Amino acid sequence: MIYRDPKCVHVADSLSEAQSVAHFLSGLGFPAQVMNPATLGGLLGLTWASRTGVSATGLEVWVDDPAHAEPALQKLQTFEAEKTQKVADKATKGPVEAECEECGKCSTFPAAERDSTQDCPHCGAYMDVPE
């Protein structure tokens, strides 16, 4: 079992994920930082052959103030639940029609592609698929 400091609120699989979480929490008033970013999580259990090159222990995100740990965890859990719900909502809705701004033709896209950018099947231009 890996010991985690009580200030640890997230363990990431990549440096970009860890930095995004630390930035997100700091923006909410919970100053946070990525621990051991130069060694990608520490030398203990370092997996050079892994896809990400991150230590087997992961990259920890710590809040600066131990009193912020619990509220920061709650914010992260709420964010993750909302993100999961949004994905589920997209999957349950039917297909969506979008009009290409370049060629003016309409195309139908599956529900999973709502709120994304796709290639127009008619002219190949980028087009926004609405929510």
pLDDT digit string, tens, across residues 13-42 = 888 999 999 999 999 999 999 988 866 666
Q: What is the mean pLDDT of residues 71-85?
A: 93
Instruction: Provide the pLDDT for residue 9.
Output: 95
Q: What percent of the chain has pLDDT over 70?
A: 82
Q: What is the mean pLDDT of residues 3-9?
A: 90
Residue 15 to residue 72: CA distance in whole angstroms: 19
How do the domains of the chain map onto residue ranges?
Answer: 8-91, 93-129
Among 39-48, 95-104, 108-117, top mean pLDDT goes to 95-104
- DSSP helix/strand/coil, 78: helix
Which is more confident, 5 or 54?
A: 5
**Using 50, 70 and 90 to split pLDDT, how confident is the model at 43?**
low
- Residues with Cβ within 8 Å of residue 107, at least 6 apart in sequence: 97, 98, 99, 100, 120, 121, 122, 127
Handedness of CA 60, 12, 19, 39 (dihedral sign): positive
Instruction: Provide the pLDDT for residue 25.
Output: 96
Is residue 119's pLDDT more than 50? yes
Could you report how far apart the first and last alpha carbons of the chain are, in Å?
Answer: 43
Residue 131 to residue 128: CA distance in whole angstroms: 9
